[in-house]
């Protein structure tokens, strides 16, 4: 029977964090995954739990045939199907039952990120757009924050300086440029920003014109950050930040950024080491309230 | 007579879907060796069994174990686990302090194991004793101990690789114990035996005995090697909580005349424990508090599955209020015979 559920692509990690020849553990929500690459570099994803005694497959190794071998008893699994393909010491006449397997997931590697198709359903949604323009300088990074992922994007939209660190730039959370615009599941909001040095020079004065704008276009799982030079309307730097839920209390932030080398001033957009409490305390949370109250688009009635 | 089994696929097929929920039931009415005796002085120490607190100290003439710190006034209600003054049944024997976890009026020293390789009234030398902790439930630790095929992968540097001319496993059990016997012929000498113990022979034969007490978690291990001396081991595997198991261990170093070996082998205990911890720790939260799901098994898991079945039977009896020891318990209590070792004079 057909299901109405739609499987979703979830951005799980950066491509660079899955090296050849070594399995790694990634948690998405409450699902633990082991990711590894086959001979041709293709990334495979399995549930990180051996079907035998639930040991972590990510603690194991890759065999010459690019099966993953459990570190506890050596059961081996095929990366594409999750089927158990070898159990040590079995006799030649002993066959491994077909149901001896772990769940496998379809993967997609694109634009420096690895996405995994998760959930149930007969159809799957479109992959996430995680492209970052190729500019003169690129960077990427990851960081764990002891902060619930369900709050991450709301906090980013309400008080971006609590989460974002843009080198040399101070974001003025108290100075939004216009109202947020909600389109579908996405919100866009702009904030004024100034060089840190200029901000300290003018600390005693009311500043009415700012050199830079920080634009945030966010869904609940990813945000595109853009730094615009207001003098020239030029995009100076851009970055995509993905929030990966890691259990209920941790967020794993992944980012990739790029900037043009048009001047000596560099703006590296990254995630802070922790969520700064002061901007969160000062926030009025107007943006997230508008985001929450805006109903999602209504699907057209079927005739 | 104790039930005796060859490891067999039919047993595995019949039992591999048995619900297995470690850490959900506290088996009681057993003696737990919670402390090495020399650790207990006139200054109270705290030990736990299934989260129950035991304050233990040495008085002028006897050992005390109470449910309150002796420096405080006793509060709370009296339970069946202590007498009216809050004292638990406690015994000092075989170099350990044993506390009774269960109804105090059912405490019976006859239910304590008879340990042939330890002096009944004296502790072992310091170098033969120690403690490790496993961050998982004691049921999973016992399953690990009864599981011989993990040795090749987790402890290969100490035990040798899985290559051998012949490798067979059998096990037997009573309502209270599970015993596993592994016979290996022509196994390559391990790196540790070769490099540290100086064993020259390239291969060896070995017979390994593992004997566990289901209620308390206490286990005994002994391997007979054709090329190296053998030292038996007792390990407590006390369930302090659902996620922490205390493993007090002691080696029967008097079983060998090889003095260097007697001192070298106990030093491996912490390294082997770290190797086990590396797989047990991640296992823990995949069982505790998780929905029940079947684990897949092979004939090599028969001993562990048998432990699961015996544990379940004991648990169901205790849920019905039956804490008694069945008559077959005597057959699992002669450790000298089970481990094939000489009794200390």
- Phi, psi dihedrals of residue A274, rounded to the nearest 5°: -150, 165
Interface membership of A86 toward B (CB under 8 Å)? no
Per-residue pLDDT, averaged over B291-310, amounts to: 88
Please state, in angstroms and rounded to a whole number, the distance separating the CA atoms of residues A226 and A236: 8
- What is the secondary structure of B244-293 as a DSSP string? EEEEEEEE-GGG-S-HHHHHHGGGHHHHHHHHHHHHHHHHHHHHTTSPP-
My answer on whether B55 and B177 are in the same domain is: no
Closest CB to A88 among B162, B286, B295: B162
Specify the pLDDT at position B253: 93
Q: Which residues pair with A259 in a beta bridge?
A: A137, A237
Ranked by mean pLDDT, which of A151-155, A262-266, B186-190 comes out on top? A151-155
Specify the pLDDT at position B160: 58
Judged against a pLDDT cut of 80, whether residue A113 lies above it is answered with: yes
Is the distance from CB of B222 to CB of B157 less than 8 angstroms? Answer: no
Long-range contacts of A285-291 (CB under 8 A, 24+ apart): A285/A154, A285/A158, A286/A158, A287/A154, A287/A157, A287/A158, A287/A176, A287/A180, A287/A187, A287/A189, A288/A154, A288/A155, A288/A157, A288/A158, A290/A179, A290/A180, A290/A182, A290/A187, A291/A154, A291/A157, A291/A180, A291/A182, A291/A187
List of residues 6+ apart from A67 with CB closer than 8 A: A76, A77, A78, A79, A85, A86
Predicted confidence (pLDDT) per residue in B308-328, tens digit: 999 999 999 999 999 999 998
My answer on whether B140 and B229 are in the same domain is: yes
CATH code for position B211: 3.90.380.10
Answer yes or no: is B199 within a domain. yes
My answer on whether B195 and B258 are in the same domain is: yes
How many domains would you assign to chain B? 2
Please state, in angstroms and rounded to a whole number, the distance separating the CA atoms of residues A120 and A31: 14
Q: Which residues in chain B have Cβ-Cβ distances shorter than 8 Å to A56?
A: 279, 282-283
Judged against a pLDDT cut of 60, whether residue A126 lies above it is answered with: yes
Give the pair of three-digit tokens for residue B146: 């009864």
Please state, in angstroms and rounded to a whole number, the distance separating the CA atoms of residues A130 and B26: 51
CATH code for position B67: 2.102.10.10
Instruction: Tell me the domain boundaries of chain A.
Output: 7-122, 137-293
- Pick the residue from chain A with its C-alpha nearest to B154: A72
My answer on whether B93 and B142 are in the same domain is: no
Long-range contacts of A246-251 (CB under 8 A, 24+ apart): A246/A27, A246/A28, A246/A29, A246/A144, A246/A149, A247/A27, A247/A29, A247/A30, A248/A148, A249/A146, A249/A147, A249/A148, A250/A144, A250/A145, A250/A146, A250/A147, A250/A149, A251/A144, A251/A145, A251/A147, A251/A148, A251/A149, A251/A152
Preferred mutation among B276, B279, B289 to probe A, highest tally of A CBs within 10 A: B279
Answer yes or no: is B324 within a domain. yes
- Pick the residue from chain B with its C-alpha nearest to A98: B296
Is the distance from CB of A62 to CB of A85 less than 8 angstroms? Answer: no
- Which CATH code for domain A137-293? 3.30.530
Answer yes or no: is B42 within a domain. yes
Specify the pLDDT at position A122: 82
Answer yes or no: is B117 within a domain. no
Q: How confident is the model at residue A3 (pLDDT cuts 50, 70, 90)?
A: low
The arrangement of strands across the sheet holding B96-101 comes to B30-36, B96-101, B90-93
Predicted confidence (pLDDT) per residue in B254-278, tens digit: 988 888 888 988 988 999 999 999 9
Percentage of residues in chain B having pLDDT higher than 90:
55
Q: Which of B185, B208, B189 is nearest to B303 (CA)?
A: B208
Q: Of A126-130, B102-106, B141-145, B183-187, which range is least confident?
A: B183-187
C-beta atoms of A72 and B152 within 8 A: no
Per-residue pLDDT, averaged over A253-266, amounts to: 87
My answer on whether B96 and B143 are in the same domain is: no
Interface membership of A27 toward B (CB under 8 Å)? no
Q: How confident is the model at residue B285 (pLDDT cuts 50, 70, 90)?
A: confident
Predicted confidence (pLDDT) per residue in A196-241, tens digit: 876 666 666 666 678 999 999 999 999 999 999 988 888 999 999 9
Q: Which of B339, B307, B154 is nearest to B234 (CA)?
A: B339
- Exposed e or buried b per residue across A207-223, where buried means at least 16 C-beta atoms within 10 angstroms of its C-beta: eeebbbbbbbbbeebbb
Mean pLDDT score of chain B, rounded to an integer?
88
Please state, in angstroms and rounded to a whole number, the distance separating the CA atoms of residues A300 and A285: 32
| Predicted-complex ipTM score | 0.80
C-beta atoms of B154 and A71 within 8 A: yes
Q: Which DSSP helix (H) or strand (E) runs through A19?
A: none
My answer on whether B101 and B220 are in the same domain is: no
Specify the pLDDT at position B161: 59
Please state, in angstroms and rounded to a whole number, the distance separating the CA atoms of residues B20 and B311: 9
Per-residue pLDDT, averaged over A243-271, amounts to: 91
Answer yes or no: is B274 within a domain. yes
How many CA atoms within 13 Å lie on the side-chain side of A28? 22
How big is chain B, counted in residues? 345
Answer yes or no: is B268 within a domain. yes
Q: pLDDT higher for B243 or B219?
A: B219
Q: Of B9-13, B136-140, B277-281, which range is least confident?
A: B9-13
Q: Which residues in chain B have Cβ-Cβ distances shorter than 8 Å to A89?
A: 149, 162, 167, 300
- Which CATH code for domain A7-122? 2.102.10.10
Per-residue pLDDT, averaged over A47-71, amounts to: 96
β pairing state of A123-124 and A6-14: parallel
Answer yes or no: is B178 within a domain. yes
List of residues 6+ apart from B334 with CB closer than 8 A: B114
Judged against a pLDDT cut of 90, whether residue A135 lies above it is answered with: no
Judged against a pLDDT cut of 50, whether residue B1 lies above it is answered with: no
How many CA atoms within 13 Å lie on the side-chain side of A248? 0
C-beta atoms of B147 and A89 within 8 A: no
My answer on whether B218 and B83 are in the same domain is: no
> How many Cβ atoms from other residues are within 10 Å of residue A234's Cβ?
12
Please state, in angstroms and rounded to a whole number, the distance separating the CA atoms of residues B133 and B248: 8
Helices A149-158 and A286-293 sit at what angle, rounded to 10 degrees? Answer: 120
Please state, in angstroms and rounded to a whole number, the distance separating the CA atoms of residues B31 and B83: 16
Q: Of A14-23, A252-261, B332-341, which range is least confident?
A: B332-341
Please state, in angstroms and rounded to a whole number, the distance separating the CA atoms of residues B75 and B55: 14
Spell out the alpha helix ranges (H) of B105-166. 138-145, 149-154, 156-159
Which of B59, B84, B112 is at the close of a domain? B112
Query: Which DSSP category does A93 fall into?
Result: T
Q: Which residues in chain A have Cβ-Cβ distances shorter than 8 Å to B282?
A: 55-56, 59
Which of B86, B112, B138 is at the close of a domain? B112
Specify the pLDDT at position A255: 98
Answer yes or no: is B280 within a domain. yes
Interface membership of B296 toward A (CB under 8 Å)? yes
Judged against a pLDDT cut of 90, whether residue A164 lies above it is answered with: yes
C-beta atoms of B154 and A74 within 8 A: no
Which of B112, B147, B167 is at the close of a domain? B112
C-beta atoms of B296 and A52 within 8 A: yes
Using CB atoms within 10 A of its CB, is residue A143 exposed (0-12), middle (13-18) or buried (19+)?
Answer: middle
Interface membership of A302 toward B (CB under 8 Å)? no
Domain containing B237: what range? 130-339
**How far is A87 from chain B, CA to nearest CA, in Å?**
9
C-beta atoms of A72 and B150 within 8 A: yes
Q: Of A47-51, A272-276, B286-290, which range is least confident?
A: B286-290
Judged against a pLDDT cut of 50, whether residue A77 lies above it is answered with: yes
């Amino acid at each position: 029977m057909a299901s109405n559920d739609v499987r979703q692509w979830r951005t799980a990690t950066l491509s660079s964090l899955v090296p050849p020849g070594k399995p790694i553990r990634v948690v998405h929500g409450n699902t633990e995954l082991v990711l590894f690459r086959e001979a041709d570099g293709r990334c495979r994803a399995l549930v990180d739990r051996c079907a035998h005694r639930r040991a972590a497959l990510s603690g194991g190794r890759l065999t010459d045939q690019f099966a993953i071998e459990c570190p506890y008893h050596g059961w081996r699994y095929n990366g594409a199907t999750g089927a158990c393909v070898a159990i040590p010491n079995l006799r030649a006449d002993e066959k491994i039952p077909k149901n001896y397997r772990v769940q496998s997931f379809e993967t997609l590697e694109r634009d420096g990120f690895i996405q995994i198709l998760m959930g149930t359903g007969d159809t799957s949604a479109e992959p996430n757009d995680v492209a970052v323009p190729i500019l003169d300088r690129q960077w990427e990074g990851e960081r764990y924050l002891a902060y619930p992922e369900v709050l991450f994007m709301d906090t980013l939209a309400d008080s971006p300086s609590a989460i974002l660190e843009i080198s040399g730039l101070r974001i003025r959370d108290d100075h939004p440029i216009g109202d947020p615009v909600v389109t579908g599941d996405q919100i866009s909001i702009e904030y004024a920003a100034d060089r840190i040095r200029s901000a300290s020079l003018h600390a005693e004065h009311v500043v009415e014109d700012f050199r830079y704008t920080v634009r945030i276009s966010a869904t609940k799982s990813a945000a595109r950050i853009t730094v615009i030079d207001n003098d020239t309307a030029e995009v100076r730097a851009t970055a995509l930040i993905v929030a990966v839920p890691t259990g209920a209390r941790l967020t794993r932030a992944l980012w990739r950024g790029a900037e043009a080398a048009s001047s000596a001033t560099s703006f590296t957009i990254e995630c802070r080491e922790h969520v700064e409490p002061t901007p969160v305390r000062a926030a009025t949370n107007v943006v997230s309230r508008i985001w929450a109250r805006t109903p999602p688009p209504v699907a057209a009635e079927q005739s | 007579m104790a039930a005796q089994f060859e490891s067999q696929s039919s047993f595995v097929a019949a039992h591999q879907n048995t619900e297995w929920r470690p850490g959900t039931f506290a088996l009681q009415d057993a003696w737990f060796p919670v402390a090495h005796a020399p650790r207990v002085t006139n200054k109270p120490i705290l030990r736990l069994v299934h989260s129950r607190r035991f304050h233990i100290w040495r008085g002028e003439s006897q050992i005390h174990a109470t449910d309150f710190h002796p420096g405080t006034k006793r509060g709370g209600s009296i339970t069946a686990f202590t007498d009216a003054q809050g004292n638990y049944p406690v015994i000092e024997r075989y170099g350990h302090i044993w506390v009774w976890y269960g109804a105090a009026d059912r405490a019976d020293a006859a239910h304590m194991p008879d340990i042939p390789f330890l002096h009944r009234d004296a502790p072992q030398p310091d170098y033969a004793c120690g403690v490790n902790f496993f961050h998982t439930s004691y049921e999973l630790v016992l399953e690990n101990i009864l599981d011989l095929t993990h040795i090749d992968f987790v402890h290969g540097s100490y035990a040798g690789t899985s290559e051998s001319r012949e490798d067979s496993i059998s096990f037997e059990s009573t309502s209270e114990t599970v015993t596993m016997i592994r016979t290996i012929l022509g196994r390559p000498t391990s790196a540790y035996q070769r490099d540290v113990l100086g064993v020259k022979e390239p291969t060896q034969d070995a017979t390994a005995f593992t004997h566990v007490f289901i209620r308390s978690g206490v286990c005994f291990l002994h391997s007979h090697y054709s090329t190296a001396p053998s030292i038996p081991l007792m390990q407590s595997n006390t369930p302090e909580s659902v996620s922490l198991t205390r493993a007090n261990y002691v080696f029967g170093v008097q079983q060998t005349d090889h003095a260097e070996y007697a001192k070298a082998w106990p030093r491996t205990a912490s390294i082997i424990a770290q190797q086990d911890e590396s797989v047990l720790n991640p296992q823990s939260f995949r069982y505790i508090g998780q929905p029940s799901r079947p684990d897949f098994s092979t004939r090599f898991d028969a001993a562990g599955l048998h432990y699961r079945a015996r544990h379940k039977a004991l648990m169901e009896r205790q849920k019905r209020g039956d804490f008694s020891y069945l008559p077959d318990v005597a057959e699992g209590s002669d450790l000298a015979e089970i481990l094939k070792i000489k009794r200390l004079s």
